Amino acid sequence: MNVSGILPLEKPAGMTSHDCVLRARRWFKTREVGHTGTLDPDVTGVLPLCVGRATKLVPILMEGTKAYEGKIALGSATTTEDAAGEVIERKKVSEAITDEELEQTFASLLGEIRQVPPMYSAVKVKGKRLYEYARAGETVERPVRSVTVYAFDQTGNEMWSPDRDHLLIPFSVICSKGTYVRTLAVEVGRRLGYPGHLSLLKRTMSAGIGQNACVSIPEMDERSQNGRAEESLLPVEYVLRDYPHYEVSDRELQKIKNGAVLPANDYPRSKRIVFTKERQTLAIYKPHPRKQGMIKPDVMMEVDVGR
């Protein structure tokens, strides 16, 4: 059977998500590798990679909630909204911000909020990515998007940067797909009356995978050299564990393998349901958009069962 599964990779600073995909293609000797949400080069942390037939899960896993830890720097704003950009505004922080002010500011950004993506981002407008406009010195109207912030907290005492030009605020955030944490950092500064940017960021959870489950690039290089790369893969069932599972009968097996539309009342009600045979995922179904009371395939997996 071809190699398949989820690689819980710990991305280091200085590598793009695509760089990690290229490394994984070499480790597993396959071009079938996809990531589940881009991390900026300077951002570290959890980067789940789908390998083999698991690449079919990329759209579903990208929808999931993500968690981050980082630091907000008050005192300057940058072109990229993070520490990599050029400074475009400065205002010295004259005194420490009170815990009450910080708590109120973080709380004010909870729930569904509207964000304008940074100019230095991969969002496409009129067929071009925003960072392409930014690098050319062009401005373009950016789409407003709704995202959800589920938790946003200060995680330690604020501190001054070594040059005392910035007040650094450590934080953690749990948010929906599409949330720009850089933009959250800028908004925290704005609400506190100072220009701000994101000075440090680490993703601690994605696709239900925490940082404790991750393997590093050097570990994967070594395992690959020793022919043990596949030992690092999680089964697809691991990232689907929060959905209801239904073990199909032999009679149902052929219908599902053929992608049949099925009556919803015959199965557990859910946003998605995972159909399994011999504990292997056959297909993921979701409510039919037009046929009320029916469910249809969302993802079809290729597995060797029932033959």
Taking only the tens place, the pLDDT of each residue in 147-185 is 999 999 999 999 999 888 899 999 999 999 989 999 999
Task: State whether 56 and 124 are in the same domain.
Answer: no
- Annotated catalytic, 40? yes
Picking from 244, 230, 233, the residue whose alpha carbon sits closest to that of residue 281 is 244
Task: State whether 83 and 160 are in the same domain.
Answer: yes
Q: Is residue 190 part of a domain?
A: yes
CATH number, domain containing residue 259: 2.30.130.10
Task: State whether 105 and 11 are in the same domain.
Answer: no
What pairing do the DSSP bridges indicate for beta strands 245-247 and 273-277? parallel
SS3 67: strand
CATH number, domain containing residue 227: 3.30.2350.10
- Buried b or exposed e, range 247-268, using 16+ CB within 10 angstroms: ebeeebeeebbeeeebebeebe
Q: Give the residue numbers spanning the domain of 267.
A: 245-300
Residue 38 clears pLDDT 80, i.e. is over it:
yes
Q: Give the number of domains in the chain.
A: 3
Q: Is residue 305 part of a domain?
A: no
Cα–Cα dist 252/50, whole Å: 28
Task: State whether 89 and 190 are in the same domain.
Answer: yes
**pLDDT (mean) for 125-153:** 85
Task: State whether 108 and 130 are in the same domain.
Answer: yes
Residue 272 clears pLDDT 80, i.e. is over it:
yes
Task: State whether 221 and 91 are in the same domain.
Answer: no
Query: Could you tell me if residue 137 is left (phi over 0), alpha (psi between -120 and 50 degrees) or otherwise beta?
Result: left
Residue 45 clears pLDDT 60, i.e. is over it:
yes
Supply the pLDDT for residue 304.
62
Supply the pLDDT for residue 65.
94
**pLDDT (mean) for 247-265:** 91
Q: Is residue 306 part of a domain?
A: no
Cα–Cα dist 153/231, whole Å: 36
Picking from 34, 27, 26, 29, the residue whose alpha carbon sits closest to that of residue 51 is 34
* Token couple for 276: 């399994």
Q: Is residue 240 part of a domain?
A: no
Task: State whether 145 and 182 are in the same domain.
Answer: yes
Task: State whether 197 and 70 are in the same domain.
Answer: yes
* Residue type for position 135: R
Q: Is residue 268 part of a domain?
A: yes
Residue 1 clears pLDDT 60, i.e. is over it:
no
- Percent of the chain at pLDDT exceeding 90: 73
Task: State whether 183 and 220 are in the same domain.
Answer: no
Cα–Cα dist 63/195, whole Å: 31
- Mean pLDDT is lowest, of 19-28, 116-125, 169-178, 235-244, for 116-125
- Mean pLDDT is lowest, of 56-60, 130-134, 230-234, for 130-134
User: Average pLDDT, whole number, for the chain?
Assistant: 91
**pLDDT (mean) for 55-61:** 93
Residue 118 clears pLDDT 50, i.e. is over it:
yes
Task: State whether 123 and 229 are in the same domain.
Answer: no
Beta bridge partners of 45: 11, 203
Supply the pLDDT for residue 211.
94
Q: Is residue 154 part of a domain?
A: yes
Residue 305 clears pLDDT 70, i.e. is over it:
no
Active-site residue, from 19, 40, 99, 153: 40
Query: Higher confidence at residue 30 or residue 128?
Result: 30
* Residue type for position 240: L
- Mean pLDDT is lowest, of 2-11, 43-52, 68-77, 298-307, for 298-307
**pLDDT (mean) for 180-194:** 95
Supply the pLDDT for residue 203.
97
Task: State whether 70 and 185 are in the same domain.
Answer: yes
Task: State whether 188 and 74 are in the same domain.
Answer: yes
Q: Is residue 227 part of a domain?
A: yes
Q: Is residue 21 part of a domain?
A: yes
Residue 278 clears pLDDT 70, i.e. is over it:
yes
